[in-house]
């Protein structure tokens, strides 16, 4: 999430340095995953979904995988 006071910075080619903070995929302020999943359902998509999310400041990789999988399953249509 872009945040001028965020703990992480990234230098972009066009806009220079931008500060941000990592947020879990279920937290408001990021990608609207319920809307994305809903749109995929509307067009009849039934394939795989891959999520890349950096959680270094938030939690370890195992916890991130478990919580992310749980969240995606809560949206329905995932095993």
In a domain, 3, yes or no: no
**60, 66 contact by CB (below 8 A):** no
Give me the mean pLDDT over the 42-71 stretch: 84
The answer to whether 78 and 34 have CB atoms below 8 angstroms apart is no
Query: Nearest Cα to 40, choosing from 29, 31, 49?
Result: 49
Q: Is residue 13 part of a domain?
A: yes
The answer to whether residue 37 sits within a structural domain is: yes
Report residue 79's pLDDT band, with 50, 70 and 90 as the boundaries.
Answer: low
C-alpha closest to that of 64 among 18, 27, 10, 9: 27
| Overall number of domains in the chain | 1
* Residue 32, domain member (yes or no): yes
Residue 14 lies in a domain: yes
Q: Which domain holds residue 29?
A: 8-74
Is residue 50 a part of any domain in this protein?
yes
Q: pTM for the full model? A: 0.69
Q: What phi and psi values does residue 77 have, to the nearest 5 degrees?
A: 85, 5
What distance in Å separates the CA atoms of residue 40 and residue 1, rounded to the nearest whole number? 23
Q: Give domain status of residue 58, yes or no.
A: yes
pLDDT digits (tens, 9 = 90+) for 21-46: 888 888 888 889 899 989 998 999 98
């Amino acid at each position: 999430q872009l945040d001028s006071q965020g703990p992480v910075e990234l230098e972009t080619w066009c806009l220079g340095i931008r500060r941000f903070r990592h947020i879990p995929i279920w937290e408001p302020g990021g990608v609207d995953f319920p809307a994305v999943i809903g749109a995929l359902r509307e067009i009849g998509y039934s394939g795989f979904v891959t999520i890349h999310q950096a959680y270094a400041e938030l939690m370890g990789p195992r916890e991130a995988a478990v919580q992310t999988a749980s969240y995606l399953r809560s949206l329905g249509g995932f095993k």
